[in-house]
Amino acid sequence: MAPKITAKPPKGTRDIAPHAMAVRERAFSLITQVFRAHGAVAIDTPVFELRDVLQNKYGEDSKLIYHLSDDMSSETGEKLSLRYDLSVPFARYLASNNVSQIKRYHIGKVYRRDRPAMERGRFREFYQCDFDIAGAYPAMIPDAEVLVVMMQMFDTLAAQSESHQRLIGSYEIKISHRVILDAVLTVCGVPEDKLRTICSAVDKLDKMHWRDVRKEMVVEKGLQEEVADRIERFVSMRGTGPEVLHMLRQERELVDMCVDALNEMEKLFRLVACMREGMKNRLVFDMSLARGLDYYTGVIFEAVLVDKTVNLGSIGAGGRYDGLVGMFRRSGVPCVGCSLGIERIMNLMVKAAEEQGGGKIRATATDVLVATIGKGTMEERLRLCAELWRRGVAAEFCFNENWNVGKQVQQAVSGGVPLVAVVGEDELRDGVVKLKVLATKEERVVDRGGIAAAIDEELTKANESG
Amino acid sequence: MAPKITAKPPKGTRDIAPHAMAVRERAFSLITQVFRAHGAVAIDTPVFELRDVLQNKYGEDSKLIYHLSDDMSSETGEKLSLRYDLSVPFARYLASNNVSQIKRYHIGKVYRRDRPAMERGRFREFYQCDFDIAGAYPAMIPDAEVLVVMMQMFDTLAAQSESHQRLIGSYEIKISHRVILDAVLTVCGVPEDKLRTICSAVDKLDKMHWRDVRKEMVVEKGLQEEVADRIERFVSMRGTGPEVLHMLRQERELVDMCVDALNEMEKLFRLVACMREGMKNRLVFDMSLARGLDYYTGVIFEAVLVDKTVNLGSIGAGGRYDGLVGMFRRSGVPCVGCSLGIERIMNLMVKAAEEQGGGKIRATATDVLVATIGKGTMEERLRLCAELWRRGVAAEFCFNENWNVGKQVQQAVSGGVPLVAVVGEDELRDGVVKLKVLATKEERVVDRGGIAAAIDEELTKANESG
């Protein structure tokens, strides 16, 4: 026997099995409906980009970018790398295609040569699902719509069942503003050249205690102790929009530095409230939020699950980035957008679907299994299936010619197919089909011409009772 | 001003703009419905695989595989490459996950470092769309279903409009059998060690004249002239299944060598006919079909458009490959499947959609644009939009606070949005909304609570008349 090749997916990647794919496709379709309800269009960009397009955008994480072998580019002179997210390719798209206004979504795979932690949903290949609004508009209006889209996505996914509600329904969105955070740090006495690195330290407050973050600021990053202590009071501010705005507006020096940004936040909370009237608002103004990426310039936000038993971290994030497109073309385009932590959400969606289905998830959409009685009746199976396909019914048959009806029905049972249509010699002679409902064990005899309608009827009944 | 980075997609790849994406998503959804109507499940596999998994599967085309930089794998020792098709990853999937029976589809991107010819639909990154049945079953039953699925896909895409019918409806599927072709070549006198290379020469008959193929066989590949001349008679055989089978069965020596394969083909034509009763069969038994790839072991087929004004070549292909999974695990799994030439089909779908829409394709799915009259009414826009979103209506609004109603309506017109809902001071006071139908210029005043129902009504009317 010939030696076999090791057959496994590369480290940090995985195959998606049919039951998980069924959940994923359903979730993508729900999410896409939300995007399209807001008038968004879809675009697609290549999975690899010119290396220069991707470099110097991700701070320290640039080392996680996958490069293609340079031998591959000898003939074109192009050096290529796999995309790290969908935001930089989006900015590149706007520049390449000279687009200055668009509301778009993009669902696609991205690549990070990170240390994989599969059980916690950290992969080297994973999906991102982004919604962005590009264009120069009055302050905070697109920003408010992005936040509402994010809430509607979570609401829609949570509404699928009680299990979904319990697992996904407890989200909240922490929100802050880069300009306010920079002003806070400046007012506290952080020198300008330390702003970004101290900002990165603040960003760790969701995973680390203040005393450890303080230590990082003072010991590692050389900040004066009294400056660090002044920061603590600010980054502890947390509450509704009006509450935190009230606290911040007590600080005269701060207000002088960022009055526009404070007014923007006030407007943002008001606009979001208009769109969420009668619904939970879910926005928390949280001054400890900093967001790692360099390119944010205005509002920043991050969605988390409040339920601490689901220890998942962020399930979505975003913000305003007005400078990114300007790295690719003369006149920049202001942008704001969000990205879903889709792999983490998928883990929850699979768990919820399993609960809902009593531990089982159906991977197929088959309505009916067509079975025949008697030897040499394969062609009758095919004829009836084809009649059903033509009428838009999802129908399967067994490939094994000599299976008896019992074995054929068994295939329906194990595949979760709800109905079986049986034809034998008698049914063929009389021009009828026997239709079995597996859940109730009811049987009825239907005229062959009316079989598609009878199947529709039984499926509707089953959905109503189930 | 800082120097800008060249912002373009890598050679041989391209961005997909919103109007083309709208066509693509619609086509994928129609194709997926056909797959699911046959009880197929979806799987996903990574875009890169271990290099060994991909190598030695594609004959001469192995040089077209993209490799990732080996520096990327220093820490894991893994050498990685981008997938070249979806068939080899499917075989690897079956082996890795120990699956021996599955009917699956997979829509995903593949990569070939080929010479790009964008205008003819040859790209370095492109989608494939595969449907395969794996499992040991009685002869030709899964093969027949794969062929019927392929025909149903083309039928479904063609049924979208008269333009679609004209551009895609003229397909035919050429079919042959590797075992019969090998027997033909052997009977003609081709030595065993030249079988594959002569087979490759035969494969070029759809693009080259017989005299040039003959020259390649004799001059380049050293075949005796009289052997080549004997081949000509066979590869000219073309017709319905029964016609060509009748011709082949006149050849005593050939029948002795491949009687099983001839009987298989007879069965296959009969099974497909059962499923296509009352519909065009579209199958042509064509002995000049050879298919380049090494891994086919039984039936082979290729879909082409008969309309020669659309000079596109193959728009889909497939066959039986019983040996591929055995390269990854001890016990092989017989497989048969098809792959759509989706990029070429997409070009036709875009052309058809443009014809249908009078040169325009709508990229959004927005039902209604919400407009307000008067300064400072942005919040009313948001309120009404949010009410509509909650009721499942796709609604947009203008971000510009001070645009008058005329400018707002103009945004609806240029985006192809069919309806505009207007609220001004009077409407707010009276609790009503003015609903404008842009196509007919009709207006009606609707109670605010009944707005979603009124929109549904108008959309149904518009669909019926349009």
Q: Is the backbone of residue B376 left (phi > 0), alpha (psi -120 to 50) or beta?
A: left
**Which amino acid does the sequence have at B114?**
D
Provide, as residue numbers in chain B, all residues whose Cβ is less than 8 Å from the Cβ of A273: none
pLDDT tens, position by position, B15-50: 999 999 999 999 999 999 999 999 999 999 999 999
Any bridge partners for residue B335, and if so which?
Answer: B134
d(CA B369, CA B413): 10
Let me know whether B340 and B410 are in one domain: no
On chain A, the residues whose CB falls within 8 A of the CB of B4 are 95, 327-330
Q: Which of residues 333-362 of B touch A (CB under 8 A)?
A: none
B349: closest CA among B176, B201, B166, B225? B166
Q: Which of A1, A4, A15 is the mutation pick for testing B, counting most B CBs within 10 A? A: A15
Quickly list H helices, A203-329: 210-215, 225-235, 241-249, 252-275
In tens, the pLDDT along B179-233 reads 999 999 999 999 999 998 899 899 889 889 999 999 999 999 999 999 999 999 9
Q: Higher-confidence residue: B465 or B177?
A: B177
Residue A2: band (very low, low, confident or very high) from pLDDT cuts 50, 70, 90 = low
Paired tokens of A350: 């699979």
**Rounded to whole angstroms, what are the CA distances from B462 to A385, B353, B392, B437, B456?**
35, 18, 18, 9, 10
Q: Which two tokens stand for residue A11?
A: 């480290």
Q: How far is CA A107 from CA A42, A111, A349, A457, B21, in A?
A: 9, 14, 17, 36, 12
Judged against a pLDDT cut of 50, whether residue B421 lies above it is answered with yes
Angstrom distance (rounded) from CA A377 to CA B57: 39
- Among A339, A334, A284, which Cα is nearest to A314's? A339
What would the mean pLDDT of A430-435 be, rounded to a whole number? Answer: 97
Domain span at residue B93 reads 18-356
Among A356, A385, A406, residue at a domain's last position: A356
Percent of chain A with pLDDT over 90: 79
Residue A6 in this model has a pLDDT that exceeds 80 = no
pLDDT at residue B330 in the model = 85
Residues 6+ apart with CB under 8 A from B56: B62
The number of beta carbons lying within 10 Å of the beta carbon of residue A308 is: 9
pLDDT at A206: 85
Distance from the Cα of B153 to chain A's closest Cα (Å) equals: 12
Interface check for A113 against chain B (CB to CB < 8 A): the answer is yes
- Give per-residue pLDDT as tens, A286-305: 999 998 777 899 999 999 99
pLDDT (tens digit per residue) in B48-95 = 999 999 988 887 788 899 999 987 655 668 999 999 999 999 999 999
pLDDT grade for B278, boundaries at 50, 70 and 90:
confident
Chain A residues in contact with B22 (beta carbon < 8 A): 41-42
CB of B102 within 8 Å of any CB in chain A? yes
Distance, CA of B449 to CA of B419 (rounded, Å): 17
Residue B1: what pLDDT? 46
Chain segment B331-370, per-residue pLDDT in tens? 899 999 999 988 889 989 999 999 988 888 899 999 999 9
Number of structural domains (chain A) is: 2
Q: Are strands A102-111 and A41-42 parallel, antiparallel or unpaired?
A: parallel
Amino acid, single-letter form, for residue B128: Q
- Contact A17/B43, CB-based, under 8 Å? yes
Name the minimum distance, in Å, from the CA of A6 to any CA of chain B.
7
Q: Is A420 helix (H, G, I), strand (E, B) or coil?
A: strand
Q: Do A137 and B25 touch (CB under 8 A)?
A: no
Q: Do B195 and B102 share a structural domain? A: yes
Give the residue with greater pLDDT, A355 vs B145.
Answer: B145
Residue % of chain A over a pLDDT of 70 = 97
* B57 occurs within a structural domain: yes
Q: Does residue A1 surpass a pLDDT of 50?
A: no
Same domain, B338 and B412: no
Q: What are phi and psi of A173, to 5 degrees?
A: -115, 115
Which sign does the torsion angle of CA A13, A18, A20, A22 carry? positive
Q: Which of B96, B270, B386 sits opposite A8 (nearest CB)?
A: B96
Which residues in chain B touch residue A327, judged by CB atoms under 8 angstroms apart?
2, 4-5
Which of A206, A202, A208 lies closest to A221 in space, CA to CA?
A202
CATH code for the domain of B418? 3.40.50.800
- B240, B327: one domain: yes
The pLDDT value recorded for residue B340 is: 92
Both B397 and B273 in one domain: the answer is: no
Whole-angstrom distance, CA of residue B317 vs CA of residue B338: 6
* Mean pLDDT across chain B: 92
Distance CA B395, CA B388 (A): 7
Instruction: Please check whether residue A159 lies inside any domain of the structure.
Output: yes
In a domain, A9, yes or no: no
pLDDT averaged over chain A? 92
Residue with tokens 């396909």: A389
Q: A348 and A221: one domain?
A: yes
CATH of the domain at A287: 3.30.930.10
What Rg, from alpha-carbon coordinates, does chain B have? Answer: 28
**Residue showing tokens 């409806």:** B169
The answer to whether residue B9 is domain-embedded is: no
A382 lies in the same domain as A339? no
Helix (H, G, I), strand (E, B) or coil at B285: strand
User: Rounded to whole angstroms, how far apart are CA atoms A105 and A34?
Assistant: 10
Kindly state the tokens that stand for A456: 């529709």
Domain identity same for B377 and B248: no
B36 and B110 share a domain?
yes
Q: Out of A322, A356, A390, pick the residue that ends a domain.
A: A356
> Where is the domain boundary, B356, B391, B415?
B356
Contact B319, B298 (CB under 8 A): yes
Q: Which amino acid is at B83?
A: R
- Reduced DSSP (H G I as helix, E B as strand, rest coil) percent helix, strand, coil of chain B, to 5: 45, 20, 35
Are A426 and A286 within one domain? Answer: no
- Give contacts of A392 with chain B, Cβ < 8 Å: 37
Angle at which helices B225-235 and B178-188 pack, to 10 degrees?
A: 140
Whether residue B312 is found in the same domain as residue B279:
yes
- What is the pLDDT, as a whole number, of residue A4? 67
A242 and A306 inside one domain: yes
In a domain, A219, yes or no: yes
Number of H helices, E strands in chain B: 16, 16
Q: What is the pLDDT of residues B366-394, one digit of tens each?
A: 999 999 999 889 999 999 999 999 999 99
Residue B7 lies in a domain: no
Report the relative pairing of strands B41-42 and A442-447 from DSSP bridges. unpaired
B399 touches A: beta carbon within 8 Å? yes
A304 within a domain of the structure (yes/no): yes
The pLDDT, as a whole number, for residue B202 is 93
pLDDT value of position B77: 82
Q: Which tokens belong to B276?
A: 């296509």
**Is residue A33 domain-resident?**
yes
Substitution target in A4, A16, A48, A107 with the highest count of B β-carbons within 10 Å is A48
The per-residue pLDDT for range B444-461, each reduced to its tens digit, is: 999 999 999 999 999 999
Residue percentage of chain B with pLDDT more than 70? 97
What would the mean pLDDT of A110-137 be, rounded to a whole number?
A: 91
**pLDDT score, position A72:** 62
Q: What is the pLDDT of residue A360?
A: 86
